[in-house]
């Protein structure tokens, strides 16, 4: 609807350009808003106010010109000029009704496949080997996976890239420690506690000189491609990814082993890139290291910032890898968009890598590199999220706690459920609540992890939406009517219908901005409108005219479809009963 009005207005602007009343090079950016007060119609635009100066006329006069230039449309009942020069559009209720009915029967709920499919690489999750997934990995995993689903739903080709931290000098120590454990007969399951494994390895490294020397020799051998060290390294990667995979599966995250494209993948490219940057004069030798000085970034001393490409000992860094990785994604996948779901603290790092990749021509202008950054997860006290004793919270334990909290919340409810159904409800609600709590906040800010608010059946939470869905579905279990053409008979129906028709626009926005919270807010508001509709517009009450019942059942069907599809795009499942 909104896009339709935007199109009509763009037509007017083109006409003004042709007629010479508006300078041809002036492309206005204007808004078409959903009005709050329905007295002002369904949509309003500020276009006249944006054009008036350039057209040298008062805004109301420009508004009149726009209205006169609009083509006749059976979708619009009435257009009015209001206040200083707003133009209000009243949609034709019959058209709204027909559109919503069509939507209720469309498995894609009115969301078309994109006309311009792109290849999009999405870099997300990206945990580190031999480390427990940390809080910033959870955020990246959950938000990234939702955006992946949305892009795929729109018909884009998506490449999931799990940029696992699987390389670095710590691997000498980790290999040496794994070797020691294997010699002592411990099976690899002893590594199930990755934090403890890493810590013990580090303690030994700091205390035992012989061990430390062996560790250092292993780094050199690993980098030289030594078979034994490589196989030990592979074991470490595999053990970590097996544990991480359990978490992905439990959370319903679509990442699989085949999506792992760790830092090590880019190793073979690094010497070549260093040489190339040097040949082109982008990188220079500075105190033995190879450095790119970026004029556009000044360090504290006011001098251009130096980004190290190769250390004086010959080693490469995280940034060098990200330069290679951006190049690879362009050359190998022909990506036109590359999205990085990474913690906001790595913003400078990314910008440096990208600036160099662009200067070297590895990433052409028409490929967009986007940092979908996010803030931290904080505890209720506003401090970084930690256990009571100050340690890192293990994700698996967090998910266990979510399930046990949901189990006690549901105690006494839904008694008609079988044991198996109950388990399914507990799992879906618990995982949904944890994910939704993260997804529903604007990702650019920090967010407070709070059990009580995320598990509440009221407010903008997953349990609320899952419950709303079961209520809609129960309408169908109780009815003997069948859905049919929609007829708008009251304001609640109209508001619900107009909101339903916005689904498409919201999904497209999530894809564009990488912001799933827009979809959460939309689903929450939609459910609210559904509840008011349901209270004032009975569906199954006896005495309701058959045609009205059918119409309302279609509104219910469209709402159920949007809530279910919307939640699945967030990676959250719905239930028939709870």
What is the SS3 assignment for 34?
A: strand
Q: What is the CA radius of gyration of the chain?
A: 29
Question: CA-CA distance, 362 to 359, in Å (whole number)?
Answer: 8
Question: CA-CA distance, 447 to 343, in Å (whole number)?
Answer: 13
CB closer to ligand ARG out of 128 and 551: 128
**Contact of 324 with 270, CB cutoff 8 Å:** yes
CB closer to ligand ARG out of 317 and 526: 317
In the complex, least distance from residue 434 CB atom to ligand ARG, rounded to whole angstroms: 20
**Contact of 354 with 363, CB cutoff 8 Å:** yes
In the complex, least distance from residue 321 CB atom to ligand ARG, rounded to whole angstroms: 8
CB closer to ligand ARG out of 228 and 318: 318
CB closer to ligand ARG out of 325 and 399: 325
- C-alpha dihedral over 425, 426, 428, 434, to 10 degrees? 150
Q: Which of 85, 144, 165, 514 binds ligand ARG (CB under 6 A)?
A: 165
Tokens 């022909």, residue? Answer: 334
CB closer to ligand ARG out of 101 and 354: 354
Is 325 one of the binding residues for ligand ARG (CB under 6 A)?
A: yes
In the complex, least distance from residue 136 CB atom to ligand ARG, rounded to whole angstroms: 7
In the complex, least distance from residue 121 CB atom to ligand ARG, rounded to whole angstroms: 10
Q: Which of 163, 259, 329, 435 binds ligand ARG (CB under 6 A)?
A: 163
CB closer to ligand ARG out of 273 and 325: 325
**Contact of 327 with 362, CB cutoff 8 Å:** yes
In the complex, least distance from residue 128 CB atom to ligand ARG, rounded to whole angstroms: 5
> What is the pattern of x (binds ligand ARG, CB under 6 A) and - over residues 283-322?
---------------------------------------x
In the complex, least distance from residue 161 CB atom to ligand ARG, rounded to whole angstroms: 8
Is 45 one of the binding residues for ligand ARG (CB under 6 A)?
A: no
CB closer to ligand ARG out of 164 and 515: 164
Of residues 95 through 154, those in contact with ligand ARG by CB under 6 A are 123, 126, 128
Question: CA-CA distance, 436 to 516, in Å (whole number)?
Answer: 10
Question: CA-CA distance, 562 to 573, in Å (whole number)?
Answer: 13
CB closer to ligand ARG out of 128 and 146: 128
In the complex, least distance from residue 112 CB atom to ligand ARG, rounded to whole angstroms: 32
CB closer to ligand ARG out of 146 and 461: 146
Is 352 one of the binding residues for ligand ARG (CB under 6 A)?
A: no
Q: Which of 9, 49, 109, 342 binds ligand ARG (CB under 6 A)?
A: 342
DSSP strand pairing (337-340 vs 119-123): parallel
Question: CA-CA distance, 353 to 333, in Å (whole number)?
Answer: 19
Size of the site for ligand ARG (CB under 6 A): 9
Tokens 């679509």, residue? Answer: 254
Listed in order, strand segments (DSSP E) in 61-118 are 76-82, 86-91
Token pair listed for 97: 């009704």
**Contact of 375 with 444, CB cutoff 8 Å:** yes
Question: CA-CA distance, 17 to 27, in Å (whole number)?
Answer: 9
**Segment holding 23, helix H or strand E:** none
What is the SS3 assignment for 290?
A: strand
* Interacting residue ranges for ligand ARG, rule: CB under 6 A: 123, 126, 128, 163, 165, 322, 325, 340, 342
């Amino acid at each position: 609807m909104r896009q339709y009005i935007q199109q009509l207005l763009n037509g007017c602007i083109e006409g003004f350009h042709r007629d010479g009343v508006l300078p041809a090079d002036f492309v206005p950016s204007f808004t078409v808003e959903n009005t709050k007060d329905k007295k002002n119609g369904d949509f309003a635009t500020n276009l006249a106010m944006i054009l008036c100066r350039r057209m040298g006329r008062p805004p109301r006069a420009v508004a009149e010109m726009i209205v006169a230039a609009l083509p006749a449309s059976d979708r619009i009942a009435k257009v009015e000029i209001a206040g200083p020069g707003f133009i209000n559009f009243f949609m034709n209720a019959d058209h709204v009704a027909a559109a919503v009915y069509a939507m209720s029967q469309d498995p894609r709920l009115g969301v078309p496949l994109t006309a311009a499919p792109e290849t999009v690489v999405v870099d997300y999750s990206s945990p580190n080997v031999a480390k427990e997934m940390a809080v910033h990995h959870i955020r990246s995993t959950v938000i990234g996976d939702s955006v992946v689903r949305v892009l795929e739903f729109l018909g884009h080709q998506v490449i999931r890239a799990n940029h696992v931290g699987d390389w670095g000098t710590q691997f000498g120590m980790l290999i040496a420690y794994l070797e020691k454990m294997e010699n002592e007969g411990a099976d690899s399951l002893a590594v199930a506690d990755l934090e403890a494994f890493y810590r013990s390895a580090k303690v030994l490294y700091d205390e035992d000189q012989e061990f430390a020397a062996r560790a250092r020799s292993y780094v050199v051998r690993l980098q030289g491609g030594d078979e034994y060290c490589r196989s030990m390294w592979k074991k470490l990667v595999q053990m970590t990814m097996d544990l991480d995979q359990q978490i992905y599966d439990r959370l319903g995250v679509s990442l699989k082993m085949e999506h792992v494209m760790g830092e090590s993948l880019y190793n073979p490219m690094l010497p070549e890139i260093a040489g190339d940057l040097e040949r082109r004069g982008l990188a220079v030798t500075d105190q033995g290291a190879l450095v790119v000085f970026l004029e556009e970034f000044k360090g504290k001393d006011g001098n251009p910032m130096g980004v190290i490409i190769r250390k004086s000992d010959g080693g490469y860094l995280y940034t060098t890898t990200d330069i290679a990785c951006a190049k690879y994604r362009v050359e190998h996948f022909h990506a036109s968009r590359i999205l990085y779901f990474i913690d906001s603290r790595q913003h400078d790092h990314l910008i440096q890598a990208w600036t160099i990749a662009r200067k070297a021509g590895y990433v052409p202008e028409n490929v967009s590199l986007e940092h979908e950054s996010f803030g931290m997860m904080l505890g209720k006290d506003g401090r970084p999220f930690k256990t009571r004793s100050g340690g890192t919270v293990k994700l698996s334990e967090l998910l266990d706690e979510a399930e046990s909290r949901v189990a006690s919340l549901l105690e006494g409810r839904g008694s008609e459920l079988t044991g198996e159904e109950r388990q399914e409800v507990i799992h879906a609600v618990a995982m949904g609540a944890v994910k939704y709590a993260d997804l529903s906040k604007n990702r650019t800010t920090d967010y407070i992890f709070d059990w009580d608010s995320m598990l509440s059946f009221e407010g903008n939470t997953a349990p609320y939406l899952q419950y709303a869905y079961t209520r809609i579905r129960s309408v169908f279990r109780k009815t003997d009517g069948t859905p049919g053409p929609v007829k708008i008979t009251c304001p609640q129906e109209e508001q619900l219908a107009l909101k339903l028709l916005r689904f498409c626009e919201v999904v497209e926005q999530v894809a564009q901005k990488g912001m799933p919270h827009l979809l959460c807010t939309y689903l929450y508001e939609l459910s609210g409108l559904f509840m008011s509709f349901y209270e004032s517009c009975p569906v199954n009450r006896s005495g309701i005219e058959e045609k009205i019942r059918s119409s309302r059942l279609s509104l219910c069907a469209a709402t159920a479809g949007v809530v279910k599809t919307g939640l699945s795009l967030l990676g959250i499942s719905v239930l028939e009963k709870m």
